[in-house]
Amino acid sequence: MPGFVDNPYCWMRNCGVFVLSSAWEGFGNVLVEAMACGAPVVSTDCPSGPAEILEEGRWGRMVPVGDFNAMNVVMTEAILNARSQDIVDGRNYFDINKAATKYLSLLEGRYA
């Protein structure tokens, strides 16, 4: 592993798979960043974040926390069979215009 790097996005853009193996998260911005770079994503289904970001596995693969065998299988599958359409669709889910529209709706009391 390279240790600290100034620009992790170059690494994300060129990785075979991005893996988040957390036991818990607040939101998991790193998943959104990896998706924005076009990386296939594998994450644990830990509390508070990944399931929401990945829409229960729609935009990336998910495994139970602590299930090392499942993580191994899913990481291997992600490397061998990247679902490129999921990556593109996942990036579109976090589009700036879509996010701004939702914020405006919330502020206007429409809760879209």
Q: What is the CATH number of the domain that holds 54?
A: 3.40.50.2000
pLDDT per residue as tens, the chain (112 positions): 788 999 999 999 898 899 999 999 988 889 989 988 888 899 999 998 899 899 898 888 999 999 999 999 999 998 888 765 556 566 677 778 888 888 888 888 866 5
44 in Cβ contact with 31 (< 8 Å):
no
CA dist., res. 32 & res. 39, Å (int): 10
SS3 category, 28: coil
User: Would 103 be classed as within a structural domain?
Assistant: yes
Question: Shortest CA distance to 58 belongs to which of 23, 93, 33, 30?
Answer: 93
User: Would 1 be classed as within a structural domain?
Assistant: no
CA dist., res. 111 & res. 102, Å (int): 7
Residues 6+ apart with CB under 8 A from 22: 28, 43, 44, 46, 50, 65
pTM exceeds 0.85? no
CA dist., res. 108 & res. 51, Å (int): 27
Number of separate domains in the chain: 1
Domain that holds residue 66: 8-107
User: Would 94 be classed as within a structural domain?
Assistant: yes
Question: Shortest CA distance to 74 belongs to which of 51, 43, 28?
Answer: 43
